[in-house]
Amino acid sequence: MSEPLSVSTMSDLAIHNAIVELRAEQQRRAIELCDPDALIELGFQDGFKADGLPRDPWLQGGVLICPGARIDKSASSHDCGFVRIDDAWVWESESKIVDVVRNIAQRRVQMRSVTLIATHDGMNVDMIYAAAKSGAHRMKSARAFLITDGQLQLQSTRTPAPVFKER
C-alpha cells in the first residue's frame, strides 16, 4: 500500500501542474452545472442600473455574471463600464463561457453585454467605469474584487483624484 501524496513532498512543477488541473476541473464543473441561456437573461434583467451602466458582477453557482455597457453621449464621447478578469477584458478571458452583446436604440444609443466566466479561487475581478471623449478613455472609478473560498470579495475601491487647473 502506497503512502498518500503530501504537498510538502511535491516538486514545484508538480504543484503547478496540479493547480492547473484543479482549476480546469473547477471550470468544467461550473460550466456543466450552469444554464448559460438563463444566466445571460438574468444578467440582462438584473445587471444594469437606472442610468444604463452595469452593476457589479456577481456569482451564481460558481459562474461570474459580468454585465457591461457603453452609452453614447455624442458621436465622439461615451460612458462605459466593463469587467476585467485578471489582466484581460471579460470578452478576451480564457475563462469566458459565453459573451452576448445587445444594442438598444433609445434616446442615446446603448450597447449592453453580459459575459459568463467560469471562476476559480484567486481570480482577480475589476469593475471599471470610464468616460471617453475624442477616443481617449479616462477612468472614473474602479472596484477590485477577489474570488476567495468561492465568494466574490470586495478588496478596494478607487476614484481618481480630481485634476485642478491653475488660474
Provide the whole-model pTM: 0.79
Specify the DSSP element, H or E, that contains 24.
helix 12-33
DSSP 8-state assignment for residue 47:
S
pLDDT one-digit tens code per residue, 48-65: 999 999 999 999 988 999
DSSP 8-state assignment for residue 161:
P
Q: pLDDT tens per residue, the chain (167 residues)?
A: 566 678 888 888 888 888 888 877 766 676 667 788 889 999 999 999 999 999 999 999 889 999 999 999 888 899 999 999 998 999 999 999 999 999 987 767 689 999 999 998 999 999 999 999 987 889 999 999 999 999 999 999 988 765 554 55
| Closest-CA residue to 150 (of 119, 125, 127) | 119
- Give φ, ψ of 31 to 5 degrees: -65, -45
| Closest-CA residue to 150 (of 39, 26, 45, 31) | 26
Kindly list the domain boundaries of the chain, sorted by start residue: 7-158
